[in-house]
């Protein structure tokens, strides 16, 4: 399977493994909290690790393992562990970096909002320091790395909501100068567009709630490790913190994976066309899309993301760069769905300043370039013309009467 193409892997990886040795006490979807054996001697062997796989679902379950196997293959790692949400997966990857009181995490300044809160409120309370840098400024990353000697670096493949693509290889190389490990949140790219473990990352994390599931009906997260010796930590935190993925969600996400390639081909194609269509629109101040940024001509895009794609998210900034205008635009949409999520089969819009970056001060938002008139669009698989026409009519309605 590791030699197959990605589309083949998406359909087959993780599936049709041999029946588990433990017989479920209830019937598949392996909605069984525990597994029984013919004798206590066998149970004893399972507990000692000599035989069998499954005893209790918090330690492992065949439905969840199928998804973990699929992600191990898709991200070209050696071990994957699934959790109840993307945040739980990120927590596990940070835990696996053996952060201790006094150690430092160097994080991208453009990180997902809850990831910042996790670092500050949960790891901060345990004495871990967080330092931030602009991960698109490699000199700044190097300077802060040398100054703060971090244990771990935390990056996102594509940043939210300005959609800047991170030079993962370069960031990983800087981290290695001080022995830091690199965690990459690959939610916005998915393994279809990028495999961070092949670009120097030690851990890759996903909110499976987004592109992997793809249908807005399941929440989950996955952490994948490049090195086998990290498996114990990922599994250990799953067992002890107990934030496991439900078997129902595992089943839905595994089903979602099969069409990830088809969905993203269409979504990226629609996004590219939308970016091209609206980039010079007089009603807009700016369109943020990776292939429109200077990164595209530098070749960075093609090194990090699967050519010819540039992702399925774009952000538009209204000419009237105010929250009122953004709300007028969003309220006028008929087809596109207003929601704080992304990666679904339908086109969805979110207002970053009042959702993901709500807790960030207005001054800091301005510094980051996240203006009040900015709307992030997660492009779906609908017909391009329908998405274009909906955005077009809503833009007209957003203009002051
Ligand atoms: C949604 C998201 C998360 C958190 O995932 P949940 O499944 O909501 O816990 C983390 N990182 C990114 C980039 C996300 O978009």
Q: Where are the domains of the chain?
A: 40-257, 260-398
Catalytic position from the list 45, 53, 58, 134: 58
pLDDT at 27: 43
CA of 207 to the centre of ligand 1 (A): 5
pTM of this structure? 0.93
Ligand 1 atom at shortest distance from the alpha carbon of 90: 10
DSSP 136-152: T-HHHHHHHHHHH--SE
pLDDT at 401: 64
Q: Decide if 112 is catalytic.
A: yes
Q: Ligand 1, atom 6: nearest CA belongs to which residue?
A: 86
Catalytic position from the list 112, 181, 230, 320: 112
Q: Decide if 185 is catalytic.
A: yes
Ligand 1 atom at shortest distance from the alpha carbon of 209: 7
CATH fold of the domain at 260-398: 3.90.1150
Alpha carbon 48 to its chain's center: 35
DSSP β-ladder status, 348-351 and 152-156: unpaired
Report yes or no: 316 and 284 within 8 Å, Cβ to Cβ.
Answer: yes
pLDDT at 25: 42
CA of 90 to the centre of ligand 1 (A): 9
Catalytic position from the list 185, 202, 230, 320: 185
CA of 236 to the centre of ligand 1 (A): 22
Kindly state the greatest CA–CA separation across the chain: 78
CA angle 112, 314, 80 (to 5 degrees): 45
Reduced to 3 states (helix: H, G, I; strand: E, B; else coil), residue 153 is strand
Residues in the chain with pLDDT < 50? Answer: 25-27
CATH fold of the domain at 40-257: 3.40.640
Pocket test for ligand 1, best of 88, 113, 187 (most atoms within 8 A of CB): 187
Q: Which residues contact 314 (CB under 8 A, 6 or more apart)?
A: 163, 271, 274, 275, 287, 288, 289, 376, 377, 379
Q: Which of 384, 75, 353 has the alpha carbon at shortest distance from 230? A: 75
* Strand order through the sheet with 284-288: 284-288, 313-318, 374-378, 348-351, 337-338
pLDDT at 26: 35
Q: Give the binding-site residues of ligand 1, using a 6 Å CB cut-off.
A: 85-87, 112, 114-115, 156, 160, 185, 187-188, 207, 209-210, 219, 221
Pocket test for ligand 1, best of 210, 249, 356 (most atoms within 8 A of CB): 210
pLDDT at 135: 97
Q: Ligand 1, atom 1: nearest CA belongs to which residue?
A: 207
Q: Ligand 1, atom 8: nearest CA belongs to which residue?
A: 86
Q: Which long-range contacts link 31-34 to residues 24+ away (Cβ below 8 Å)?
A: 31/63, 31/247, 31/248, 32/57, 32/61, 33/57
């Amino acid at each position: 399977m590791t030699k197959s193409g990605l589309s083949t892997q998406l359909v087959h990886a993780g599936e049709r493994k041999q029946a588990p040795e433990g017989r479920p006490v209830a019937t598949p979807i392996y909605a069984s909290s525990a597994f029984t054996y013919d004798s206590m001697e066998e149970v004893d062997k399972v507990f000692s690790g000599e035989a069998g796989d499954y005893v209790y679902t918090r330690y492992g379950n065949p439905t969840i393992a199928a998804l973990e196997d699929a992600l191990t293959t898709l991200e070209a790692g050696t071990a994957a562990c699934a959790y109840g949400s993307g945040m739980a997966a990120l927590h596990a990857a940070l835990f696996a970096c053996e952060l201790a009181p006094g150690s430092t995490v160097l994080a991208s300044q453009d990180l997902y909002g809850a990831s910042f809160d996790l670092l500050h409120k949960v790891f901060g309370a345990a004495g871990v320091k967080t330092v931030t840098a602009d991960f698109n400024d490699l000199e700044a990353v190097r300077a802060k790395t040398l100054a703060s000697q971090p244990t771990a670096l935390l990056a996102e493949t594509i940043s939210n909501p300005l959609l800047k693509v991170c030079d993962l290889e370069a960031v990983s190389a800087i981290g290695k100068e001080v022995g830091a490990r690199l965690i990459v949140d690959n939610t916005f790219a998915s393994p279809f567009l990028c495999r961070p473990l092949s670009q120097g990352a030690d851990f890759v994390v996903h909110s499976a709630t987004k592109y992997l599931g793809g249908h807005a009906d399941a929440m989950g997260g996955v952490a994948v490790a490049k090195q086998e010796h990290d498996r114990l930590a990922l599994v250990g935190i799953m067992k002890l913190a107990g934030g496991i993925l439900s078997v129902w969600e595992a089943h839905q996400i595994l089903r979602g994976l099969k069409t990830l390639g088809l969905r993203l081909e269409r979504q990226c194609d629609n996004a590219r066309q939308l970016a091209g269509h609206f980039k010079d629109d007089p009603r807009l101040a700016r369109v943020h899309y990776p292939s429109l940024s200077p990164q595209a001509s530098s070749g960075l895009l093609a090194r990090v993301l699967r050519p010819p794609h540039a992702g399925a998210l774009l952000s538009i900034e209204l000419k009237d760069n105010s929250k009122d205008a953004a709300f007028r635009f969003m309220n006028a949409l008929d087809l596109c769905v207003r929601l704080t999520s992304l990666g679904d089969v339908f086109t969805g819009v979110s207002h970053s300043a009042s959702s993901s970056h709500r807790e960030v001060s207005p001054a800091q938002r301005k510094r980051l370039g996240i203006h009040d008139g900015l709307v992030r669009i997660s492009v779906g698989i609908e017909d391009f013309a329908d998405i274009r026409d909906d955005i077009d009519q809503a833009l007209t309605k957003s203009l002051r009467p």
